[in-house]
Amino acid sequence: MLDIDPHLRVDVDPLMAAQHDLGVCDAIWRIAPAGKADVMSAPHLPKVAGIDPAVAGSPHTAAPTPARTIPATSHPTAPGTLIQDRLAGMVSDLTTLHELTERLTRTTDLDGSLHEFLRAGAALVGARRGLVVLEPSDGLGPTSTIGLGLGRADLGHIETVPRSATSYGRILDGLPDAEGGSDVLPEADAVPGAGSAAPVDPRHREVAARLGYAASYALPLTAEATGRLGAAVWLYDEQAEPNDRQRDLAGLYVRHGSEHLARMLEVERSRARLATVAEELLPSRLPRVPGVQLGARHVTGPAGGGDWYDALPLPEGALGLAVGSVTGTGPSAVAAMGRLRASLRAYAVMEGEDPVAVLSDLELLLRLTEPARSATALFAYCEPAQRKIVLAGAGHTPPLLIGERRTDYVETSLSAPLGMLACWEAPSVEIEPAPGETVLLYTDGLLRRTGDAMDRAYARLHAAAASVPRAVRDDPAAICDHVLRTVLPDGQDAGESTEDIVLLAARFD
């Protein structure tokens, strides 16, 4: 509690009120006991919640008048109590903003950031539902619409309203009445019964009645480096709009939140570009070789990894199959993966019938050109006409043989990854699939994304392969899809996993 003399002079500093942009109070009150204004207005006053009240006085401020004594009985609420309440409100607002922005900065992806941003904004303006329309002005995307308390059908209805008839639509289109020359432009868009003087578009009225909202409040999402990102709009079930305090708090939150969204947008763009490069380094389509059907699936991790697969037609009707994984993530791992895959293709053409020689050459190249990097790889030389496969692996996961009568791991010899030893060599293994059986090659990212210990992950993969429905056993791509859905149900893999996933299936007739 503040110990303030009852003889007070209370006046409002107009310069502080004009310069104040925090939106947590109407003005800063300057308080001093009578006859001690110079002392109380001296510089280096203590700060409250990070706000420095030491601001030069306005030259237009009227000269101080003698203070007069106000009997305590004539005013039930003392001025000191009002000041304390105002300061308490300021601290409470700043604390709320700090907590909400902290929660937003802890989000690590664009989708999670948009959901958190929308939820916090609704709490600040006192709304229950809303949506964020992400539509960057540079046209580079991505574009998306995220709803709070709105389903896909509800968002579809809202999108049928002409953009010029909604406040957020005018923000997105950059219309003059929506910009106003300010970074934060609150605008209440009243709909049926909200008391708006402007006529309401019939379609807007119809959608509002269908969804049960009576007013909306929209704000632009603008970042300093990227410009306009989109717009956020919150919906009120009744005829309401945010008060001045809510507008100020929401404006502050949106201003800082937009900068975080801009960073997440750039991260999302970088991930998309990296995934595109990785996909371009992999086969655009699988070859058609008599006697065998192929199917593949590739899932890129959020940071971009170095997993790859390949299927290469070889002389005399043979087929080369390869999967591998380069250590590390990011652009350097993707580039190394591309170089390693291209080299393996060259070695496979020259001496593909000897998988051990192919991997030995690849290991020598990796050790000479990238001594700080290692990789796992598996290469299989297939003769579909004879249903014969000769394969060798370098620290790679063993293939699975999937058929009507059996589902077994192929017993490959233990070997070190490429680049780990001075000279790599391991014996090859020969298998003969029965007609209708499928050989499944994969990378260890499929196992690691489960979050289980490796023995349990192998058991889960075996169970998934054994449960392939008979109706899809003739389709290698469908087998890959079934394994993915079963090993990682609904895509629920380990939370922050950065692993790529590669599946390559070859079904022999």
Q: Are residues 64 and 165 in the same domain?
A: no
Q: Are residues 174 and 266 in the same domain?
A: yes
**Which of 298 and 186 is assigned the larger pLDDT?**
298
> Is residue 429, in this structure, part of any structural domain at all?
yes
Number of domains in the chain: 3
Q: Are residues 239 and 318 in the same domain?
A: no
CATH of the domain at 123: 3.30.450.40
Give the chain's radius of gyration (CA, Å): 33
- State the average pLDDT for the chain: 80
Instruction: Please give the angle made by the CA atoms of 236, 241 and 242, to the nearest 5 degrees.
Output: 110
Answer yes or no: is pLDDT of 459 > 90. Answer: yes
Q: Most distant CA pair in the chain: distance in Å? A: 109
pLDDT average, residue stretch 476-494: 85
Single residue among 30, 58, 75 that ends a domain in this structure = 75
pLDDT tens across 148-173, in order?
Answer: 999 999 999 999 999 888 888 888 88
* Residues in Cβ contact with 413 at an 8 Å cutoff, skipping those fewer than 6 apart: 393, 426, 427, 429
- Confirm if 119 and 148 have CB atoms less than 8 A apart: yes
Single residue among 25, 56, 75 that ends a domain in this structure = 75
**Which of 337 and 47 is assigned the larger pLDDT?**
337
Distance between CA 144 and CA 231 in Å, rounded?
11
> Is residue 55, in this structure, part of any structural domain at all?
yes
What pLDDT, on a 0 to 100 scale, did the predictor assign at position 76?
A: 55
Q: Are residues 47 and 160 in the same domain?
A: no
Distance between CA 370 and CA 101 in Å, rounded?
43
What pLDDT, on a 0 to 100 scale, did the predictor assign at position 198?
A: 54
Question: What pLDDT band is residue 197 in, cutting at 50, 70 and 90?
Answer: very low
Q: Are residues 389 and 464 in the same domain?
A: yes
Taking CA atoms, 2 is separated from 53, 82, 84, 93, 352, in Å, by: 17, 11, 7, 20, 86
Residue identified by tokens 């990227």 is 226
- Confirm if 305 and 325 have CB atoms less than 8 A apart: yes
Distance between CA 406 and CA 504 in Å, rounded?
19
> Is residue 484, in this structure, part of any structural domain at all?
yes
> Is residue 84, in this structure, part of any structural domain at all?
no
Question: What pLDDT band is residue 281 in, cutting at 50, 70 and 90?
Answer: confident
- Confirm if 443 and 323 have CB atoms less than 8 A apart: yes
The total number of residues shown for the chain amounts to 509
Q: Are residues 319 and 392 in the same domain?
A: yes
pLDDT tens across 299-330, in order?
Answer: 887 777 789 999 999 999 999 999 999 988 88
Residue identified by tokens 């049960």 is 212
Strand (E) or helix (H) holding 166: none
CATH of the domain at 392: 3.60.40.10
Q: What are residue 310's DSSP bridge partners?
A: 322
Q: Are residues 350 and 464 in the same domain?
A: yes
Answer yes or no: is pLDDT of 79 > 80. Answer: no
Q: Are residues 367 and 485 in the same domain?
A: yes
- Confirm if 334 and 307 have CB atoms less than 8 A apart: no
Q: Are residues 234 and 308 in the same domain?
A: no
Q: Are residues 39 and 127 in the same domain?
A: no
For the chain, the straight-line distance linking the first and the last C-alpha, in angstroms and rounded, comes to 87
Give every strand in the sheet of 305-314, ordered side by side: 305-314, 318-329, 375-383, 388-394, 429-431
Q: In which domain, by residue range, is 28 found? A: 8-75
Q: Are residues 468 and 353 in the same domain?
A: yes
Q: Is 205 helix (H, G, I), strand (E, B) or coil?
A: helix
> Is residue 88, in this structure, part of any structural domain at all?
no
Print the SS3 string covering 325-370.
EEEEECHHHHHHHHHHHHHHHHHHHHHCCCHHHHHHHHHHHHHHHC
- The dihedrals phi and psi of 249, each to the nearest 5 degrees, come to -65, -45
Structure token digits, residue 238:
């009744």
> Is residue 330, in this structure, part of any structural domain at all?
yes
> Is residue 24, in this structure, part of any structural domain at all?
yes
CB-CB neighbours of 455 under 10 Å = 9
Percent of the chain with pLDDT over 90: 46
Q: Are residues 370 and 487 in the same domain?
A: yes
Single residue among 230, 254, 274 that ends a domain in this structure = 274
Distance between CA 242 and CA 110 in Å, rounded?
27
- Closest to 268 in 3D by CA, of 304, 232, 321, 233: 304
Question: What pLDDT band is residue 55 in, cutting at 50, 70 and 90?
Answer: very low
> Is residue 80, in this structure, part of any structural domain at all?
no
What pLDDT, on a 0 to 100 scale, did the predictor assign at position 382?
A: 96
